[in-house]
Amino acid sequence: MAEDIQSKLEQYRTAPFDARFPNQNQTRNCWSNYLDYHRCQKALDAKGVDTTPCDWYKRVYKSLCPLSWVQKWDDQREEGTFPGKI
């Protein structure tokens, strides 16, 4: 399984099609992948497991989200005012 994830990460180019977000506007896709990445990190850290599988979500949100949004959300998480449920 880890080899499969590693090969997907190496061949990654841009965010793949996600049937949950079929429209041109990818704002929700960006938001969902940002949340999924941090939820994945939190869950795997709690178990003491390697967090490499979470890198997929990070790559997707990095390719979809404007940098200003990511920076704002990171700042909000640090301040404890982030509106999402992680």
Residue-range domain boundaries for the chain:
1-79
Can you give the pTM of this predicted structure? 0.80
Distance CA 86, CA 76 (A): 12
Q: What is the mean pLDDT of residues 6-20?
A: 70
Looking at the domain that runs over 1-79, which CATH code has it been given?
1.10.10.140
- Specify whether the backbone of 84 is left (phi greater than 0), alpha (psi in -120 to 50) or beta: beta
Structure confidence at residue 13 as a pLDDT band (50, 70, 90): low
